[in-house]
Amino acid sequence: MLDRKVEQEFGLGMTDFLALKALCGKDPSGLRMRELASLLGLNQSSATRAAGRLERDGLAERVADPEDGRGVVVRVTPEGRELTAEIARLFSREVSTALDAAALDRRTASVVARLLQGPQEH
């Protein structure tokens, strides 16, 4: 359901969002395609297509690898970074709403309470 909401509100598929999030969390100079593929659990061809869609939408860009001028890296643009932050806020709202609803159900209330308390030290 959340993937449909991201697609409807932001026009971004879940694979592309995960690629964008991976790019935001790594080296600002960018990632080689094989690194992106590995982070996403995709083959290099699928990662390349995702990067192409992000680039087409102005959310990422491909540039020469600063360590190896023969190679190419993909890196997030400021627009991509902002969109990632907006989607993260959506995720937070949706999870909060789901937990609030689950807390009202006697079958799941204790689980929600434990989740909200965080890890317990033993």
Looking from the CA of 52 toward its CB, the CA atoms found within 13 Å total 6
Is the residue at 82 inside a domain? yes
At residue 121 the predicted structure's pLDDT band, cuts being 50, 70 and 90, is low
118: left (phi over 0), alpha (psi -120 to 50) or beta: left
Residue 10 lies in a domain: yes
7 within some domain: yes
Q: Average pLDDT in the 17-34 region?
A: 90
Domain assignment of residue 85, yes or no: yes
* CATH at 19: 1.10.10.10
Do residues 81 and 4 make contact, with C-beta atoms less than 8 angstroms apart? no
- Is residue 17 scored above 80 in pLDDT? yes
Is the four-CA dihedral 19, 20, 24, 27 of positive or negative sign?
Answer: positive
Residue 44 lies in a domain: yes
Residue 30 lies in a domain: yes
As for how many domains the chain has, the answer is: 1
Q: Is the pLDDT of residue 120 over 80?
A: no
Flag whether 122 is in a domain. no
Does residue 72 lie in a domain region?
Answer: yes
What is the span of the domain harbouring residue 112? 2-117
Confidence of residue 85 (pLDDT cuts 50, 70, 90): very high
